[in-house]
Amino acid sequence: MAALVLFGGGGDLAMRMLLPSLYFLEHDGLLPDGLKIIGAARSEESRDEYVSKVRASVESKAKADDAWSPEAWARMEQRLDYLAVDATSAESLKPLKDKVGEGECTSFLAVSPSLYARIVTAMRAAGLAEPGDRVVLEKPVGRDLQTFSEIDDAVSDAFDEHQVFRIDHYLGKETVQNLIALRFGNTIFEPLWNNLSIDHVQITVGETVGVGDRWPYYDEYGALKDMLQNHMLQLLCLVAMEPPSDLDPDSVRNEKVKVLRSLRRITPEEAERVTVRGQYVAGKSEGEQVPGYDDERGLDSDTETFVAIRADIDNWRWAGVPFFMRTGKRLPEKRTEIVIQFKELPHSIFDNDRGQVTANRLVIELQPQEDISLSVMNKRPGLDQRMQLQPIRMSLSWGQDDKDAKPPRRRIAYERLLLDALNGDSTLFVRRDEAEQAWKWVDEVSQAWTDGNVKPIEYKAGTWGPGEADFLLERTGRAWNTKNG
């Protein structure tokens, strides 16, 4: 019988994301038969206590999504177990190995990354890193290439690469996978997907939340390492990669690594021109007055809560096509999108008084809505003597045929990822060399900031970051996409 061990099974990630995801999979009949789910953390508590904590968390989430089923919960409850362990000690893990038994074991490390190296070493000694076993690692693995490598060396002493599943939860988002379908399941986009037709690409991950009491973690990372090193570079890779020969995990990941290797280095001389660091100060967010980052932190800090970067990919397909990325806390909207901006018409046959002709734009929206839309120019209906033009937005989203149908439940990204990890499919997980390349590029940016003494520029909470982020595009004759295109 197979087992899924959740180290840190009582923590925030497990209770808010992992266990509800497992419930939803159970609800939909997707969990493998006989799979045991074992929470493992140091707190001394009984199985019953653990199960009732899990139920409280799962039930409220499932009810909010109209997916609570006592039968599904009864099946999930049967699978659940708990054991108090110190996961860094092989001795302490032996009873866990007995509970797991001889079946395949997938261990999810939902604990502080500072424990990863010690935990995998203890797992190996306790027999929890056998050839059929797997380990799932949450981000952030390390703070830079060196610390990443130190942790990952310990991981690779215990597990072969095909047994290691490094999570980037953005890869579990439905629209991110849909991007793969859009690019490689259609013939019409690929001939245009290059520097002949595309002017530039924008990737925005805007959040309205502040850092709040997460600052002890955040202050060590900042927006560059918390968001850009992983989620945003993964999105960039999926937009920019060459078509893989198949959907085999290594075929996809080989292509992503090639993109990361082609990213132009950002030197200290370039840093001020192609990057913007920002930090929010007090302002209004979603109608409420909110404190600045330094006020939350209680001390002055040089950590950026906003970053905007122009990245260039030095290969044949993308030569001359800048990729602009921006992310930040306390921005005006929770909005995650990828914008593919096509080039202007080479020559317009329409005078300006017929309506402004705007270049085509493909917007892949991940949050708050999931949607893919293409803006195209269209004739305004009517009998005007002089034909008038207008841009229209064509939605390419799934499930839109029947407008009255209830949209499918929006899945938690971890549902897809947990299922794939249990099935041993690592396509949507990050391979070691991908993470290394991403760290290498980001480390250089970070070093360039240090060498060039580039400090965060203040921006008011509730705004789109420092004005310099707008200037990053404006000086190239471009502008960030706004909500309504």
Ligand X SMILES: O=C1O[C@H](COP(=O)(O)O)[C@@H](O)[C@H](O)[C@H]1O
The site for ligand X (CB under 6 A) is made up of 207, 226-227, 336, 367
- Report which DSSP code applies to 179: H
Rule CB under 6 A: is residue 112 a binding residue for ligand NDP?
yes
Distance separating alpha carbons of residues 112 and 190, to the nearest angstrom: 41
Rule CB under 6 A: is residue 138 a binding residue for ligand NDP?
yes
460 labelled ligand-binding? no
User: Is 231 part of the annotated catalytic residue set?
Assistant: yes
329 labelled ligand-binding? yes
Give residues with Cβ within 8 angstroms of 88, minimum separation 6.
Answer: 115, 118, 119, 122
Distance separating alpha carbons of residues 208 and 213, to the nearest angstrom: 15
99 labelled ligand-binding? no
Question: How do strand 457-460 and strand 389-395 relate by DSSP bridges?
Answer: unpaired
For ligand NDP (CB under 6 A), the number of binding residues is: 20
Query: In angstroms, what is the minimal distance from the CB of 368 to ligand X?
Result: 10
Distance separating alpha carbons of residues 115 and 125, to the nearest angstrom: 16
Query: In angstroms, what is the minimal distance from the CB of 293 to ligand NDP?
Result: 19
Query: In angstroms, what is the minimal distance from the CB of 226 to ligand X?
Result: 5
Other CB atoms within a 10 A radius of the CB of residue 385 amount to 5
- Near ligand NDP by CB under 6 A, which window of 108-116, 244-252, 292-300, 411-419? 108-116
Buried b (16+ CB within 10 A) or exposed e, 227-259: bbbbbbbbbbbbbbbeebeeeebeebbbbbbbb
Of the candidate residues 5, 19, 35, 41, the single one contacting ligand NDP (CB under 6 A): 41
Report yes or no: 10 and 90 within 8 Å, Cβ to Cβ.
no
Query: In angstroms, what is the minimal distance from the CB of 331 to ligand X?
Result: 12
First to last CA, the chain: 52
**Cβ-based nearer residue to ligand X, 104 or 226:** 226
**Cβ-based nearer residue to ligand NDP, 111 or 311:** 111
Given the residues 27, 162, 200, 231, the one annotated as active site? 231
- List the x/- string, 51-90, binding to ligand NDP by CB under 6 A: ----------------------------------xxxx--
Q: Which residue has the tokens 């990863």?
A: 116
Report yes or no: 370 and 174 within 8 Å, Cβ to Cβ.
yes
Query: In angstroms, what is the minimal distance from the CB of 368 to ligand NDP?
Result: 18
Distance separating alpha carbons of residues 19 and 53, to the nearest angstrom: 11
**Cβ-based nearer residue to ligand NDP, 214 or 317:** 214
- Near ligand NDP by CB under 6 A, which window of 38-46, 205-213, 329-337, 384-392? 38-46
Rule CB under 6 A: is residue 20 a binding residue for ligand NDP?
no
- Report which DSSP code applies to 352: G
Give residues with Cβ within 8 angstroms of 214, minimum separation 6.
Answer: none
User: Would you list which residues are annotated within the binding site?
Assistant: 42, 139, 169, 173, 207, 226, 329, 334
Residues marked active site are found at 231
Q: Which residues are annotated as a binding site for NADP(+)?
A: 42, 139
